[in-house]
Amino acid sequence: MLRLPKFEIARPTSIDEVVALLSEHGDDAQIIAGGTDLVPNMKHELFTPKVVVSIADVPDIAGVRVESDGTLAIGAMTTLHDVASDERVRSIAPALGHATALISGPQLRRMGTLGGNVMLDTRCQWYNQTHFWRKSLGYCLKKDGTVCHVVQSGQKCVAAASNDSAPALMTLDATLVFHGTDGRRELPIDDLWRADGIYNKHVSGELLTEIRIPATPRGHRGAYEKLRDRDSIDFPLLGVAARVDWDDAGDRVARAEVCLVALQARPVRLKKVAELLVGKQRASAELDGAIEASAERAYKQCRPLPNIPGDHEYRHEMAPVFVRRALRACVRASENASDAAGV
Amino acid sequence: MDVAAPAHWTLLEVLRYRMGLTGSKQGCDKGDCGACTVLVDGRPELSCLTLAALAEGKQITTIEGLMPAHVAAGGEGADPVQDAFDRCGALQCGFCQPGMMLSARALLNGNACPTKGEIKDALSGNLCRCTGYTQIIQAVELAVAEAAGVEPVSPAWAPHENPWRSNGTAPANETTER
């Protein structure tokens, strides 16, 4: 039985009220959306806020819409279930559709939100434990202690970004809309992250309200592949999002992206891995060779640490396998979609 | 119903320790096992991660509410999902059952004729440590088949047979007394 530490609940009904509460209470406030990350973390006493600010009553921050220029705008409070099952998401941003459908299990996808998954706390097997467990170990660098149990004598926390939506949104050039005391601002998702496991984001005291994905070209294909022990519930042991855009004629790769998560504190974009595919002919030996070369290069570029459960050497060996699978899923999708209209 | 509880109590704690509704189980208590699944406005959610105060005004269905809801809708006896779990022996210790049955009920409310894959997906957030899931999935398939009025899929241990005697194909005493 895990009891929550005491706190008060605030239920603001506008973005301005949320921002005011965050500004008033500072580090003593925590935003709760779906609660699927925050509540277990509070039960583990990783967060002990005085005020929990619910954003459930804030209007207009849930729902999916497509704007006139084709931009896909998803409210931060949209549940993962609603994102994963939305036809517009699946056709404009297939990698995000795949990724959100694979987050945790059915119940948590109905509670958890896309904004919450973007803002997910980093995870580590020495951190996501009860207070009793952590205390018996003398705590760790990320919370209450001074020692890292992953990298002996490490001075920097290496807890892993574990949000499946993050690499998918990175392949899609997503922009995040934040509201703070200085008003509204848009931040490209790549600029959100920093390589610090204690807090891997460049924002604080702001409310994420919307995730914006620019229109994808006709030849856009995307996929997400997730390694985990069970096909449900688990966080990723490795996540790979891939993007392949065919050119206007539909026969050569115009653009490719590969982004990974669950390796280190921030999701990573493997630019040099993806660019091997650019210019390659559709359904050719040259494209197959490029996918193999990408997988090999991904193996060399990523170094999983023993930060999350699962043998890190196994996770390393699986990196090329999952990069290959994700890229092949993109290429395969294009062969099936004869009208090049989506999915 | 009005219940008073501190702000830091979960919905599960209020159900179990304020209202005495102990059908919803406290398993891992951190969102892994699904034993605390309840229906919130018809959607399967985890009551151990729901702050009770934030569930105010919502319709909560626990395992205790399944049979009354079935009867209120004009049915007889237990919910067909509960009845099928009983006849299929889809339990050993029974701890995961309330969550399993609520996940199954939520699935069937939205999709009266799910495939086996859809059943597995819908129950994938509920862990069972005893039965190995086979009878659990069979039970949902049985409930689906009987609702649709067709013969259920035969289990591996009784090929070409319907050991559960779907309604109308066997004498009444055999259906009720196995």
In degrees rounded to 5, what are phi and psi of residue A101? -70, -20
Q: In B, residues 86-115, which contact A (CB 8 Å cutoff)?
A: 103
In chain B, which residues have their Cβ closer than 8 Å to the Cβ of A4? 8-10
pLDDT at B170: 44
Alpha-carbon span A258 to A167, nearest angstrom:
8
Q: B-contacting residues of A 130-189, CB under 8 Å?
A: none
Nearest to A233 among B48, B121, B125 (CB): B125
Chunked into runs of 10 residues, chain B (178 residues) has average pLDDT values of 96 98 98 98 98 97 97 96 95 96 98 97 96 93 94 88 68 42
Q: Tens digit of pLDDT for each residue in A244-273? A: 999 999 999 999 999 999 999 999 999 999
Taking an 8 Å cut-off on Cβ atoms, the answer to whether A233 and B6 are in contact is: no
Q: Does A231 touch chain B (CB under 8 A)?
A: yes
Min CA distance, B56 vs chain A (Å)? 12
The pLDDT of residue A339: 42
Tokens describing residue A100? 């959100």
CA angle, corner A329, sides to A325 and A330, nearest 5? 125
Ramachandran area for residue A151 (φ above 0: left; ψ -120 to 50: alpha; else beta):
beta
Look at residue A335 in the predicted model and tell me its pLDDT: 58
**Interface membership of B133 toward A (CB under 8 Å):** no
ipTM confidence score: 0.94
Other residues' Cβ atoms within 10 Å of the Cβ of residue A309: 15
Instruction: Assess A260–B contact: CB distance below 8 Å, yes or no.
Output: no
Token code pair at residue A291: 């996918």
A43 touches chain B (CB under 8 A): yes
Instruction: Please list every residue in chain A whose beta carbon sits closer than 8 Å to the beta carbon of residue B49.
Output: 35-36, 39-40, 108, 111
**pLDDT value at residue B178:** 42
Using the beta-carbon criterion (under 8 Å), do B49 and A231 form an inter-chain contact?
Answer: no
Residues in chain A within 8 Å Cβ distance of B54: 9, 11, 32, 35, 54, 56
Buried b or exposed e, range B55-89, using 16+ CB within 10 angstroms: beeeebbbbebbeeebeeeeeeebbbbbbbbebbe
Q: How far apart are CA A47 and CA A97, in angstroms?
A: 30
Q: How far apart are CA A207 and CA A75, in angstroms?
A: 12
Which tens digit of pLDDT belongs to each residue from A189-248?
A: 999 999 999 999 999 999 999 999 999 999 999 999 999 999 999 999 999 999 999 999
Instruction: Report yes or no: B51 at the A interface, CB cutoff 8 Å.
Output: yes
- Confidence grade of residue A168 (pLDDT, cut at 50, 70, 90): very high
Query: Under a CB-based contact definition with an 8 Å cutoff, are residues B144 and B108 in contact?
Result: yes
Residue with tokens 């934040």: A178
The single residue listed with the structure tokens 């294909």 is A221
SS (H, E, C) chain B: CCCCCCCCCEHHHHHHHHCCCCCCCCCCCCCCCCCCEEEECCEEEEHHHCEHHHHCCCCEECHHHHHHHHHHCCCCCCCHHHHHHHHHCCCCCCCCHHHHHHHHHHHHHHCCCCCHHHHHHHCCCCCCCCCCCHHHHHHHHHHHHHHHCCCCCCCCCCCCCCCCCCCCCCCHHHHHCC
Per-residue pLDDT of A61-118, as tens digits, reads 999 999 999 999 999 999 999 999 999 999 999 999 999 999 999 999 999 999 999 9
In sequence order, the 6+-apart residues with CB closer than 8 A to the CB of A80 are A34, A100, A103, A104, A108, A109, A110, A112, A113, A114, A117, A165
Average pLDDT over residues A121-134: 97
Structure confidence at residue A226 (pLDDT) = 98
Q: Closest Cα to residue A222, out of A129, A325, A90, A330?
A: A330
| Closest to A243 measured CA to CA, from A301, A169, A175 | A169
Identify the pLDDT of residue A340.
Answer: 42
3-state DSSP of chain A: CCCCCCCEEECCCCHHHHHHHHHHHHHHEEEECCCCCHHHHHHCCCCCCCEEEECCCCCCCCCEEECCCCCEEEECCCEHHHHHCCHHHHHHCHHHHHHHHCCCCHHHHHHCEHHHHHCCCCECCCCCCCHHHHHHCCCECCEECCCCCCCCCCCCCCCECCCCHHHHHHHCCCEEEEEECCEEEEEEHHHCECCCCCCCECCCCCEEEEEEECCCCCCEEEEEEEECCCCCCCCCCEEEEEEEEECCCCCEEEEEEEEEECCCCCCEECHHHHHHHCCCECCCHHHHHHHHHHHHHHHHHCCCCCCCCCCHHHHHHHHHHHHHHHHHHHHHHHHHCCCCCCC
Which A residues in the span 63-122 are in contact with B, Cβ-Cβ below 8 Å?
A: 104-108, 110-111
Do B103 and A107 make contact, defined as CB atoms within 8 angstroms?
yes
Instruction: Write the single-letter amino acid at A77.
Output: M
CA atoms of A256 and B55, how far apart (whole Å): 44
Tell which of B96, B124, B133 to mutate to test the A interface (max A CBs under 10 Å): B124
